[in-house]
Structure 1
Amino acid sequence: MQPLCFRTLLCLLLTLSLFNCERRAEAEVVTSESAPASDLAVEPNVPEWAKNAVIYEVNLRHFTPEGTFSAFEEHIPRLAEMGVDVLWFMPIHPVSKVNRKGELGSPYAVGDYQGTNPDFGTLEEFKSMVDAIHGAGMYAIIDWVPNHSGWDNPWITEHPDFYTKKDGEITDPINPATGESWGWTDVADLNFDNDELRDSMIAAMEFWVEEAGIDGFRVDVAHGIPVDFIEQAADSLYAIKPLFMLAEAEVPEIVNNGAFVMDYGWEMHHTLNQIAKTQGANRDAQTDASNIAREEGEDQDRATALDIDRVLKRYADDYHRGYKMQFTSNHDENSWSGTEFQRMGDGHQAFAVLTATFDGMPLIYTGQESADDQQYEFFTKDNVEWGNYEYADFYRTLFDLKEKNQALWNGEYGGDLQKIPTGNDENVYAFTREKYGDRVVVLINLSAQSQDITLQGDAFAGGYTEVFTQESNELQEGMDMHLDPWEYRVYSNR
């Protein structure tokens, strides 16, 4: 997504929401048995390895000093060791120079859908990198930008009829609600009423699957693309081989219809940000005025752990296929809203534990495994400060658990979330998930104060190992516990 669109489209997205080597296996077709057949517009062809996968977003421009495919290959072994399964690469295409923003421009202003950014390397070097990823037992998906192209994309001159026009001239994307520009002036809006455009766009996507061997796509601004085109493209792509399809959207229709297996958990993410703010994670950064407003009940953005259940209920009501991508950061959040440290303060690891144990696939973004508290520049080169990968073991622990414990697998493969009442549910989020005898129990203090709880019910009773300390524990009904500020405990029975 273009940087300005995140802020501009936040309300729109929230409104729309209301509607490793040993793991590599032969790809199999996966379909949902729970969805009514009448709702199936596309026959999903989802790879079997996605059932317990985690995803990592690669900002190639900033990842290494060289910023190239070849330089990135050096990081592949450590990412596999950390338990990453899917590498999502931000756009790898040439960046348009016409109307470019900043020194290097936005990677989402695509200059050629079948080319690679020369700053990153050649097509052959990209293929070599994909081969290395596959050799490490991981998979590669690329960002795809069908909503708009750069102004010097060959289609501008060769196929001007591919584009939306206003007063007879090709225009940048327009807000349909207001008729005004979104402000994405570095890109030209594509017109999906044109059948030849549709065929050309699908052919370009097929090129990367067939010629480069990628394993799927993250589709940018998927909420802005006609649903019938999404279905048309998915039908063509799934006919080639099993693919992993991620929508940058929170629109149930394009997951329920089988086109995408995963979309964004935007509403959950923003709720977690608000819990962090309300519960004091950013207290030092808050002004006296905002503190007073909150104390007087005037802050309409207050949130507690109880709001998590509200969001989960909405998801359960609106979706009957697929699952969410859960995250504490991504390229939009980092560049435009702040790092997880800035938004979630001392609670950032607690929220990461939550997103890694919820139903859905956890995402980590470039630099998070190094606890890099840096907002990366979007239009210029900005190297990641890797240091000693301070949080790599933290993420490895969570990802190993997800691989081994079926309760945490994705979508229909995992266990349903069952809340554990604690007598302090406004501050502590506690739940258990179980599948085929595998069980986890998660207790997280989502506040900046110590909390006391009493575990209620018996669905969780049994013997466990706490995955971070490796201590053995027997959990039972009526057990009293004390949790330090932002403390988390994750128990597994295997």
Structure 2
Amino acid sequence: MRTTKKLILLIMMMLLAFSCKNEKTTKALPNTASPETESVELEEKEETLVEMTPITNDILETAIIYEANIRQYSPEGTFNAFTKDIPELKELGVKIIWLMPVFPISKTKRKATGGEFASLIEDEAERAKMLGSYYAVTDYTKINPEFGTIKDFRALVNEAHKHGIYVILDWVPNHTGWDHEWLKNHPEYYTQNGKGEVIHPDETDWTDVADLNYDNTDMRKEMIADMGYWITEQGVDGFRCDVAGSVPLDFWEEAIPQLRSKKDIFMLAEAWEPELLKANLFDMAYAWEGHHLLNDMANEKKSLMDWDKYATKVITDYERDDILMNFLTNHDENSWNGTIQERMGDASELMTVFSYIIPGMPLIYSGQEYGLNHRLKFFEKDSISKTKGRQWEVLKKLGTLKNTHEALNGGKQSASYLIFETDNKYVLKYIRSKAGKKITFIANFSSKPQTFKMTSAGKFLDYMTREEVQFNNKNVTLDPWGYKVLTDL
């Protein structure tokens, strides 16, 4: 009898073990790299994702977006080092985190500082420092081991979601790195020259990547499937799509509805073309023209008259519910064109505040909150200095105002604005209003003190200094690049 019981117990244990094994197998990640890593990835995938409420138009009205450069954000350059600071980003009013590409980077034709191929560097130690471009993707469904593991990635998404922050991935649909398995198994997925050779994107120096062929329907299907994996399996809330305007519009018309059918997502196009925002395609595009204009105004090459023309052009080119992303810096601008301080000098703070005041969604790039005044290296490890100072306090105040004041709504039901001429061509008077709430912004867009007549009589709160101010139709003088953000008492 005891032998029979032992035999039954043994059979039950074997069945249980077999059942557990089958359960784990059904949870395998797609495109698993090797049998050695399979069991680790299976265990990591089982971590439960924190559910977020669907991203809505109301949320977009008050949103601030943060671009996270994981490699350079910390000395460690890891997901975990960034994740622990997510609660701090909430202090800045951040509601969307955009992660620069998190995928493995190709080694073939890997770029080095200076633009040459890393393989040409003779010194082995120097060659090893060259990590390549985030945008030379070798696998759309894997994590760059430089940053951590898929478990670390999921922990980052969970931490953001716990704090009410959405996470979008930087997607690179125009090209892949030269080590992508598609190049071996599906060369027809790529653009080829007359000799049948795969080529890099035309009219660029992006020799570290291979141009994708959007005439191939099978490639399109795989691209959409890989994007869907991150939404359904890893909990991401949308994508920032690299050079979206270089990808055929009909691909986005095919892909985005399929992705939206899986989940309410946020879509950001690295592009300016208005057609990308139509028919529920992308939610937001880049305010490229506005960005360049702010640079020129900071250098007194352009004036408030030019800004007035730009504001009129935006109304003409875009529909009422289109959203533009306002930015002073990002990964490209910082690394290749200079820091905010380099490009804007003493006008930096004014331009920062103005980017929050105007319609649209403001961007914070990694390090901007700490007053980053260093061009981060693009192809190798670097790091930002995280010391809180005036810039942190300015962004914190602006974040609170953006999150809570209807007059700064910048989404699909954006607050209205009026530009008032003053008796001084260097001084802007700008009023935003919605639902009976109003913000008045006055600013001196010049490097010299300017006096003008303030025609808005009454008492106001100077939001940035928290001081009560009163105007009685008298002259007011503003310091060079001086400004005031005025709210009702």
**Range class of TM-score, shorter chain:** 0.7 to 0.9
Q: Tell me, yes or no, if structure 1 residue 145 matches structure 2 residue 179.
A: no
Q: Tell me, yes or no, if structure 1 residue 173 matches structure 2 residue 201.
A: yes
Match of 2:463 in 1: 467
Match of 1:130 in 2: 157
Match of 1:267 in 2: 289
C-alpha RMSD of the superposition: 1.6
With over 3 angstroms needed to count, the CA separation of the structure-2 counterparts of 1:351 and 1:209, relative to structure 1, is same
Deviation at residue 387 of structure 1 after TM alignment = 2.1
Deviation at residue 463 of structure 1 after TM alignment = 4.0
Equivalent in 107, 112, 126 of residue 97 of structure 1: 107
Match of 2:23 in 1: none
CA distance in 1, matches of 2:434, 2:66: 25
Q: Tell me, yes or no, if structure 1 residue 489 matches structure 2 residue 488.
A: no
- The sequence identity of aligned pairs, in percent, is 41
CA distance in 2, matches of 1:434, 1:474: 20
Match of 1:343 in 2: 343
1:195-225 Cα offsets, whole Å, 9 max, x none, are 1111111111111111111111100001101
Match of 2:54 in 1: 27
Q: Tell me, yes or no, if structure 1 residue 71 matches structure 2 residue 81.
A: yes
Deviation at residue 473 of structure 1 after TM alignment = 2.9
1:314-339 Cα offsets, whole Å, 9 max, x none, are 11101103211001111111011100
Match of 1:354 in 2: 354
Is the Cα contact below 8 Å between 2:55 and 2:265 reproduced in 1? no
Match of 2:428 in 1: 429
Superposition TM-score, scaled by structure 2 size: 0.83
Partner AA of 2:309 in structure 1: R
Gaps of 5+ in 1: 1-23, 31-47, 176-181, 279-301
Deviation at residue 462 of structure 1 after TM alignment = 5.1
Partner AA of 1:186 in structure 2: D
Match of 1:86 in 2: 96
With over 3 angstroms needed to count, the CA separation of the structure-2 counterparts of 1:462 and 1:211, relative to structure 1, is farther
Larger radius of gyration: 2
Deviation at residue 28 of structure 1 after TM alignment = 6.0
Match of 1:282 in 2: none
Report 1:38-49 matches (<5 A): 48-49=58-59
CA distance in 2, matches of 1:192, 1:453: 56
Match of 1:281 in 2: none
Is the Cα contact below 8 Å between 1:256 and 1:319 reproduced in 2? no
Equivalent in 238, 261, 281 of residue 239 of structure 1: 261
Deviation at residue 415 of structure 1 after TM alignment = 1.5
- Say which SS state the counterpart of residue 165 (structure 1) adopts: coil
Match of 1:411 in 2: 411
With over 3 angstroms needed to count, the CA separation of the structure-2 counterparts of 1:349 and 1:148, relative to structure 1, is same
- Say which SS state the counterpart of residue 352 (structure 1) adopts: helix
Report 1:206-245 matches (<5 A): 206-245=228-267
Deviation at residue 475 of structure 1 after TM alignment = 4.6
With over 3 angstroms needed to count, the CA separation of the structure-2 counterparts of 1:64 and 1:222, relative to structure 1, is same
Partner AA of 2:443 in structure 1: I
Deviation at residue 306 of structure 1 after TM alignment = 1.6
Partner AA of 1:325 in structure 2: M
CA distance in 1, matches of 2:56, 2:87: 28
1:133-166 Cα offsets, whole Å, 9 max, x none, are 1112211111000000000011111211110001
Superposition TM-score, scaled by structure 1 size: 0.83
CA distance in 2, matches of 1:184, 1:405: 43
CA distance in 2, matches of 1:475, 1:210: 55
Deviation at residue 108 of structure 1 after TM alignment = 0.4
- Say which SS state the counterpart of residue 407 (structure 1) adopts: helix
Gaps of 5+ in 2: 1-50, 113-129
Deviation at residue 119 of structure 1 after TM alignment = 0.4
Equivalent in 40, 46, 71 of residue 61 of structure 1: 71
Number of paired residues? 420
Is the Cα contact below 8 Å between 2:93 and 2:402 reproduced in 1? no
Is the Cα contact below 8 Å between 1:27 and 1:49 reproduced in 2? no
Partner AA of 2:92 in structure 1: M
Deviation at residue 461 of structure 1 after TM alignment = 5.5
Match of 2:387 in 1: 387
Is the Cα contact below 8 Å between 1:163 and 1:189 reproduced in 2? yes
Deviation at residue 309 of structure 1 after TM alignment = 1.1
Report 1:311-326 matches (<5 A): 311-320=310-319, 321-326=321-326
Structure 1 stretch 141-150 or stretch 416-425: which is displaced more?
A: 416-425
CA distance in 2, matches of 1:435, 1:475: 23
Deviation at residue 389 of structure 1 after TM alignment = 4.4
Deviation at residue 411 of structure 1 after TM alignment = 3.1
Deviation at residue 413 of structure 1 after TM alignment = 2.6
CA distance in 1, matches of 2:462, 2:170: 37
- Say which SS state the counterpart of residue 129 (structure 1) adopts: helix
Is the Cα contact below 8 Å between 1:420 and 1:455 reproduced in 2? no
CA distance in 2, matches of 1:111, 1:441: 49
Match of 2:305 in 1: 306
CA distance in 1, matches of 2:135, 2:447: 38
1:236-266 Cα offsets, whole Å, 9 max, x none, are 1111111111100010110133211111111
CA distance in 2, matches of 1:479, 1:440: 20
CA distance in 2, matches of 1:447, 1:484: 9
- Say which SS state the counterpart of residue 442 (structure 1) adopts: strand
Is the Cα contact below 8 Å between 2:201 and 2:211 reproduced in 1? yes
With over 3 angstroms needed to count, the CA separation of the structure-2 counterparts of 1:424 and 1:256, relative to structure 1, is farther
Partner AA of 2:460 in structure 1: Y
Is the Cα contact below 8 Å between 2:60 and 2:411 reproduced in 1? no
Partner AA of 1:51 in structure 2: E
Partner AA of 1:410 in structure 2: G
